Structure 1
Amino acid sequence: MTVLNLPVVDFGPYLDPNSTAEQRQAVDQAIDKACRHLGVFILKNHGVPDELCNRMLDCIRRFIQLPDEEKRKCSVASKERGYVQSDLALVKGLRPPHENIAFYPPVNGFSNGLSPTVDPNSPDARLPTSPDALGMPDAWPSDEFRAQTEEYLEHMLQLKNRVHASIATSLGLGALSQKRFDDTIFASAFNGYRELTEAEVIDGGTNLPEHTDLGLLTFLSQDSDSTSLQVQDRDGKWYDVQPIPGAFVVNVGVMLNRWTAGQYHATVHRVIHRSKKPRISAAVFVDPFFDASIAPLSELTPAGKSCADQKAETFGKFSMDWYNSSEWPEY
């Protein structure tokens, strides 16, 4: 398969206090162009220490290498949390092609994030330890894993804020629209992929089926030098993505496509891992608050329409419908 040379954006000017306005503008233009084309680019010189990224990936690798019975202790009844692997693979006597442990902050602070099984008037209804619309709370493998993840996400928050600032500048957003960008949370999925056999690939097998991410942006870090990630172009053709050590793959999700009224392209992608070395990756998803509108940002609302004309639907409702639909990939 053809390797796709994704745009490589050097984010250094956003970290250098001595950079010029012209240098930052060049970064803004590069990100904006990539988001409008295939909605995906490589981000280097991003400011997140390589040593921290490697520690996070090592932490994930140690978890993935645990016996199944240990990993399954982190399985919870949730659409976005806990440990997941393919039961079908186990039935066939194979290691799962994809397994992950995912984390999502409590959403029961929003009225539309409350669990339908919980009394909204109960004093426990909004506690982080209570079930919410997504199900049971996060299940952490260990205190060390949680501390490592929280340290990693602290740095990712700084990067997310800078990338959002760049996008807001390119789109000419005002204060209210920028606040919608600020009012976001992190979800994360830490993944392990085994090698697919040639027979599985010929049979159309994938480690992770084709899909678009639901949120605004995804920041992906990976430890493998194999071309396992694949991106689909606008003509439906698939391309391998060659990873660059120390860089993030950043892609646009469905919500950013909607907020920009289709100006930014939600990336269609999948994973087919052929290398004998297992692939480990850390995906950080930027999602709106559960009560955020999915309508386009006011500056980008199509001509002849107003924000009031847009469907008054929240991200919470949209995401729950998404998880229950065929759009959500089954592992």
Structure 2
Amino acid sequence: MQVSACFPSERWVVVWFVTVFDVGVDISPLVEKIDDPNMANDKDLLQVVRLLDDACREAGFFYVKGHGIAEPLMKEVRDVTHKFFQLPYEEKLKIKMTPQNGYRGYQRLGENITNGKPDMQEAIDYYAPIEPGKYGDLATPMEGTNLWPKYPSNFDALLKNYISLLRDLSRKIMQGIALALGGPVDAFEGRTAGDPFWVCRLIGYPVSTDILEEHRTDTGCGAHTDYGLLTLVNQDDDICALEVKNQSGEWIYAKPIPGTFVCNIGDMLKVWSNGIYQPTLHRVVNNSPRYRVSVAFFYESNFDAAIEPVEFCRERTGGVAKYEKVVYGEHLIKKVLNNFIK
């Protein structure tokens, strides 16, 4: 069953599996105080930690505000993304994604594959730089240089600044999640995510009627979970398209709320937490009569991190590891190679 309309309320909400509660995740106390040596005694910060635990445990998806990223900047990033996708096809192909450049750059419509089916989207993929040989043979398929378009002229400077800000924000949220799981604030540092890999994916979803019928499918992006630790989604304010699957098997719209990020957890956090937190299936269906963009920032573990259930999470879940060790880079490469038409 699919819910046929967006969430009707403009209140701050968390997307739960069963319903929508009038609860906000204002993470400003976390953003402002997580580095304070006395933060363990701060009631406001601890309340944010409790809300993060509830959201990750019950839904795996939630909205965040009070994150410190200016709303005009969020909009400017979406605006330049719109402008790029409005360029002539020949111009976009100047930064075409290929295996030779580490699967970085522009993907044409239908080139991305989810569950064996072409997605009705075009996109640009950016990855954290990987120096040749840094991880031996592990990262060879992902080694390459990010490709920046000539137009819009402010594209690269804007995106590089935005990525830097989201990287810092994501680290702070992960510190809050570490506390929510009962671990130390620096649990994700060091060999787990002390040198976090990141992916920034700029995605455009055309109007379905603008796509030739023989090339058209019913989804902008098929149902999937994300690969890493945490995802922050900056989506157009006025188009409902992102859907989250609840425990009843219903697809629930993650209605855009201006100034917020939609945040969700990924596969590596499931393994690391020994299943205490589970990623949630989500998909994109653009039934709007307008072109939609979404800018998704994926905060990952170290590229070469061997992720396995951490001891204090195993102790909370019966003492036995429920998941085998996963090397993040291997997991990512397998997904990338399966999701791209060569």
Give the SS at the match of 1:111.
coil
Aligned CA RMSD, in angstroms, stands at 3.0
Change in 2 beyond 3 A, CA 1:36/1:159: same
* Structure 1 residue 10 corresponds to structure 2 residue 26: yes
Distance 1:77 1:183 in 2: 26
Q: Which residue in the other structure is 1:192 paired with? A: 204
CA contact (8 A) 2:232 2:298 kept: yes
Q: Which residue of 2 aligns with 1:314?
A: 327
CA distance in 2, matches of 1:224, 1:330: 31
Matched, 1:98 2:110: no
SS in 1 for 2:306: coil
Question: What is the percentage of aligned positions where both structures have the same residue?
Answer: 29
Of 241, 250, 254, the match for 1:237: 250
Match of 2:108 among 67, 85, 92: 85
- Cα 1:136/1:226, change in 2 over 3 Å: same
1:164 equivalent in structure 2? 174
The Cα shift of 1:76 comes to 2.6
TM-score, length basis structure 1: 0.81
1:214-253 alignment to 2 at 5 Å? 214-253=227-266
- Mapped to 2, the partners of 1:176 and 1:21 lie a distance apart of 17
Secondary structure at the aligned position of 1:262 is classed as coil
Answer yes or no: is 1:298 the counterpart of 2:311: yes
Q: Aligned-pair distance for 1:186?
A: 1.9
- Return 221-230 or 179-188, whichever deviates more: 179-188
Aligned-pair distance for 1:59? 1.3
Q: Which residue is 1:92 aligned to? A: none
Residues in 2 aligned to 1:58 and 1:212: alpha-carbon distance in whole angstroms: 27
Does residue 76 of the first structure (1) align with residue 86 of the second (2)? Answer: no
Instruction: Verify the 8 A CA contact 2:208 2:287 in the aligned structure 1.
Output: yes
Given that 1:210 and 1:329 are in contact with CA atoms closer than 8 Å, whether structure 2 keeps it comes out as no
| Number of residue pairs aligned between Structure 1 and Structure 2 | 302
Paired position in structure 1 for 2:136: 111
The answer to whether the Cα contact below 8 Å between 1:220 and 1:281 also exists between their aligned partners in 2 is yes
Tell me the CA shift for residue 304 of structure 1: 4.2
Deviation of the 1:184 alpha carbon: 1.1
Deviation at residue 277 of structure 1 after TM alignment: 2.1
Q: Compute the TM-score of the two structures, normalised by the length of structure 2.
A: 0.79
The structure-2 alpha-carbon separation of the partners of 1:265 and 1:63, relative to structure 1 and needing over 3 Å to count, comes to same
> Once the two structures are superposed, what CA deviation does each residue of 1:271-296 show, in whole Å capped at 9, x if it has no partner?
11122221111110011122101212
Structure 2: which 5+ residue stretches go unaligned? 8-12, 16-23, 113-118
Deviations 1:140-197 (A, max 9, x none): 1136322111111122122112211111111122477331243312210011111224
Contact kept? 2:139, 2:329, Cα under 8 Å: no
For 1:176 and 1:50, locate their aligned partners in 2 and report how far apart those are by CA, in whole Å.
29
